[in-house]
Structure 1
Amino acid sequence: MTPYADLDLEAMLTDLESDRVERKESFKGKAPDTVREAVCAFANDLAGHGAPGVVFIGARDDGTPVGLNVSDEFLRQLADIKTDGNIAPPPTLLVEKRRLLGHQLAVITVWPCDTPPARCRGRVHVRWGPRRGLASAQDERILNERRRHRDRPFDVQPVPSATIDDLDRLRFEQEYLPSAVAADVLTSNERSLEQRLAATKMILSDVEPIPTVLGLLVVGKSPIDWLSGAYTQFLRVAGVDLADPVQDDAVIDGTVADQIRRLEDKLNAHNVQGVRFGDLVQESREVAYPLDALRQLTRNALMHRTYESTHSPVRVYWFDDRIEIHNPGGPFGSVTPENFGLPGVTDYRNPNLAEALRALGYVQRFGAGISIARRLLGERLRFEVQPGFVAAIVRAAR
């Protein structure tokens, strides 16, 4: 992931025939949408260059710089393209201020995605020569077949012992597909069920309809049959340690969306600190913990946990003085114990599961969950980060 040198960028900037370059004079009007579509197209790399594409902001169509003022705030705005949830899975990109041909330009370098197709707002954008547009059925097939098996994340690895009958077709067609793919695209294409499952990474391919880990986690009839740790254990302990009496317990299984819904029902049911009676007619219930913070932390745990080679569930233990949320799998990729939870520091063990949860509405913005929880909880929230697990510990309000 070495960025281009200035000489390389200057040559690309003025090469009007290149299919790895997009130029924009500014980031106003329709430009934010078209820049995201260009980033999506470069991530898909339909031509198979295996090299990054570049979006120049501050240059005319002929490559002449316009003299744009590139501020730090503007660069942060461009960097949000990676995490604002419009492109999924999140693209690998670098945003820089570079001085080219004597002028400042904002440069977005986009590396090809390992697990195409990438989608921008539910649509697959690709590039043919200097033109950009929506992928055809054949384009999507090429992208599906290009996925690299050895380097693929675990969440899109096939589960050879499972069959397509282990996926819930009704759930896929009525719940997931309309959420993940734009309505006009669904209306216009005539793909088979197998082609649609392959395009959304639920199976390996339409010619090898073997469910992936993602398929089982998102639309599987019984994910726990194939992924033994794919469940959540909930305990409400009447005390401050595990030796105290258990007030409520539940093993919550099903798809990840099922687990989220059922777990949040549990959290909501127990999240009552007291009742105040203002008069004989009305009562006011006070919550012990901000529910949105608990949602962010539990969803993060289910999204970022490891599902590979483990029988461990996500564990949510509710004590009288605190809540502990444990998920198997320590820091991943660029995240370390030292930088864990810092703004802008994020990586994805399960990038395709993150994409699916965003499509289903459980994730609005990539990388924002911990920041939201910290804003709501302040010093009541701390993390214990170990090589094999991460625990979020939330103290009750005094």
Structure 2
Amino acid sequence: MQRLTDDQLLDLLNDLESDRVERKESFKGDVPKKARQAVCAFSNDLPGHNQPGVLFIGAKDNGEPSVLQVTDQLLMSLADMKTDGNILPLPVLSVEKRLLKNQEMAVVTVMPSDMPPVKFEGRIWIRTGPRRALANEQEERILNERRRYKNIPFDIYPVPTAKLSDLSKSIFENEYMPNAFADDVLEANGRSYEERLASCRMILSPDDPTPTVVGLLAIGKSPQDFLPGAYVQFLRIDGTELADPILDEEEIGGGIVEILRRTEEKLKAHNRTSVDITQSVTHQLATPYPQVALQQILYNAVLHRAYESTNAPVRVYWFNDRIEISSPGGPYGNVTDENFGRPGITDYRNPNIADVLKVYGFIQAFGRGIATARRAMDNNGNPPIEFETNQSTVVCVFKKKS
């Protein structure tokens, strides 16, 4: 990611008419919300600069320092703008403390997105000169068209053999749209069905309504017709080896929401709760595995798996002494075999699928699933989660508590 020099930052700080800069004296009051709007607008880069936008915290409107103390807590709060799930797709940004005009400032550098339009709380923000504004229909079309010429991730590749009729208009309009856009945006929406699909990256463009990978997974009528490996294979094995008798078996397909919901139901059915009346004057409920831990790792397995060049499913194998959840595709991007699972180390092979899971409510914030699962396992008295990674697979192993 591009790191601007002090001279470059000073030029932006002093240019009061630039549409690549925004200044805030502090990070209090309504500033966190306005800052996220600015990050969204810089990500959309409607003017087409193909250069980063910069948000200065600790600067007055005239570019002079507001004499703000830049603490670690402030930097963490600014970094949360990337992963709190309010800006989708996830923005690419860096946060750092810089010394400018002999005073500390927090500098947020935002790169233009390869996947516009980017939304904050269901609204598409852009820059018009030195101000922020909501995109109108024509501006949204420009952003949609621009996406076609970017180096896009696989999850918004078009699927040439699929047709518009392979997407469910009912699911899109009645389930996806109300969760993806703010109420006032929906009420004022004069866009066509194809324009709305393109805005959500479900099709390539209004002029070429070829469904994308994420479109088929999110609202497809039969995604496995085009993505054969996009399902979960569930086995409940009566023993500790794969060759032992199978008590329950199911291939769980459909759209991504149906897959997750049905797999969760399967996990709950086998994760039977026991009642202990011997250790306390009140009944104590216990489960072999904490449900929230299983959920978080399942979501991660479906989100981070490779959908390209593989027909392998996500596998959930429940043995008598453990559960193994395996996801095709090894660590991606910034995540390696060596740093896998470490706090703060995350990357997204499928950022648009992440957007869908956030819209449908499976994810509230990003980069916290493994930490949440680990804490839940510890609180339930289970051994720590074990991870096995290689170039083609990530396997998560839950051990049963003794």
Report how many aligned residue pairs link the two structures: 395
Match of 1:27 in 2: 27
Match of 2:397 in 1: 393
1:367 aligns with 2:377: no
Distance 2:240 2:362 in 1: 31
Q: Give the CA deviation at 1:380.
A: 2.6
Distance 1:239 1:104 in 2: 61
Using the TM superposition, name which of 213-222 and 337-346 deviates more.
Answer: 337-346
Whether the 8 Å contact between 1:380 and 1:396 is mirrored in structure 2 is no
Match of 2:164 in 1: 164
User: What are the equivalent positions in structure 2 for 1:223-302 lying under 5 Å apart?
Assistant: 223-272=223-272, 274-276=274-276, 285-302=285-302
Q: Give the CA deviation at 1:138.
A: 0.7
Distance 2:205 2:199 in 1: 8
Whether the 8 Å contact between 2:114 and 2:150 is mirrored in structure 1 is no
Q: Give the CA deviation at 1:127.
A: 0.5
Distance 1:333 1:40 in 2: 23
Amino acid at match of 1:332: Y
Q: Give the CA deviation at 1:74.
A: 1.1
Amino acid at match of 2:286: E
Amino acid at match of 1:334: N
User: What are the equivalent positions in structure 2 for 1:1-398 lying under 5 Å apart?
Assistant: 1-149=1-149, 151-272=151-272, 274-276=274-276, 285-378=285-378, 379-398=383-402
Whether the 8 Å contact between 1:272 and 1:285 is mirrored in structure 2 is no
Whether the 8 Å contact between 1:114 and 1:148 is mirrored in structure 2 is no
Amino acid at match of 2:13: L
5+ residue gaps, structure 1, are none
* 1:269 match: secondary structure: helix
Q: Give the CA deviation at 1:190.
A: 0.8
Distance 1:75 1:381 in 2: 30
* Deviation string, structure 1 residues 262-315 (Cα, Å, up to 9, x no partner): 00000000001534579xxx9865311100010000011001101111110000
Whether the 8 Å contact between 1:89 and 1:119 is mirrored in structure 2 is yes
Distance 1:324 1:115 in 2: 34
Distance 1:285 1:36 in 2: 42
Distance 1:277 1:227 in 2: 49
Whether the 8 Å contact between 2:22 and 2:38 is mirrored in structure 1 is yes
Q: Give the CA deviation at 1:62.
A: 0.4
Distance 2:241 2:199 in 1: 47
Distance 1:65 1:98 in 2: 12
* Deviation string, structure 1 residues 299-354 (Cα, Å, up to 9, x no partner): 11001101111110000000010000000000111111111111111100000010
* 1:146 match: secondary structure: helix
* 2:196 match: secondary structure: helix
Amino acid at match of 2:334: S
Whether the 8 Å contact between 1:156 and 1:214 is mirrored in structure 2 is yes
Distance 1:236 1:172 in 2: 34
* Deviation string, structure 1 residues 67-110 (Cα, Å, up to 9, x no partner): 10001121111101100111011100000000001100000000
Task: Give the alignment's Cα RMSD to 1 decimal.
Answer: 1.3
Amino acid at match of 1:207: D
Q: Give the CA deviation at 1:189.
A: 1.5
* 2:247 match: secondary structure: strand
5+ residue gaps, structure 2, are none
Distance 1:375 1:160 in 2: 43
Whether the 8 Å contact between 2:328 and 2:394 is mirrored in structure 1 is yes
Distance 1:177 1:40 in 2: 19
* 1:126 match: secondary structure: strand
Distance 1:372 1:184 in 2: 34
Amino acid at match of 1:214: V
* 2:265 match: secondary structure: helix
* Deviation string, structure 1 residues 32-90 (Cα, Å, up to 9, x no partner): 00000000000000000000000000011000101100011211111011001110111
Whether the 8 Å contact between 1:331 and 1:337 is mirrored in structure 2 is yes
Q: Give the CA deviation at 1:131.
A: 1.3
* 2:107 match: secondary structure: strand
Identity %: 54
Distance 1:238 1:383 in 2: 23
Amino acid at match of 1:120: F
Q: Give the CA deviation at 1:374.
A: 1.1
Whether the 8 Å contact between 1:149 and 1:157 is mirrored in structure 2 is no
Distance 2:94 2:275 in 1: 51
Distance 1:127 1:267 in 2: 46
* Deviation string, structure 1 residues 187-236 (Cα, Å, up to 9, x no partner): 00111111110110000011100000010000000000000101000000
Distance 2:264 2:171 in 1: 21
Whether the 8 Å contact between 1:122 and 1:182 is mirrored in structure 2 is yes
Amino acid at match of 1:139: E
* 1:352 match: secondary structure: helix
Whether the 8 Å contact between 1:253 and 1:259 is mirrored in structure 2 is yes
TM-score, normalised with respect to structure 2: 0.96
* Deviation string, structure 1 residues 340-381 (Cα, Å, up to 9, x no partner): 111111100000010111011001001110110111124430
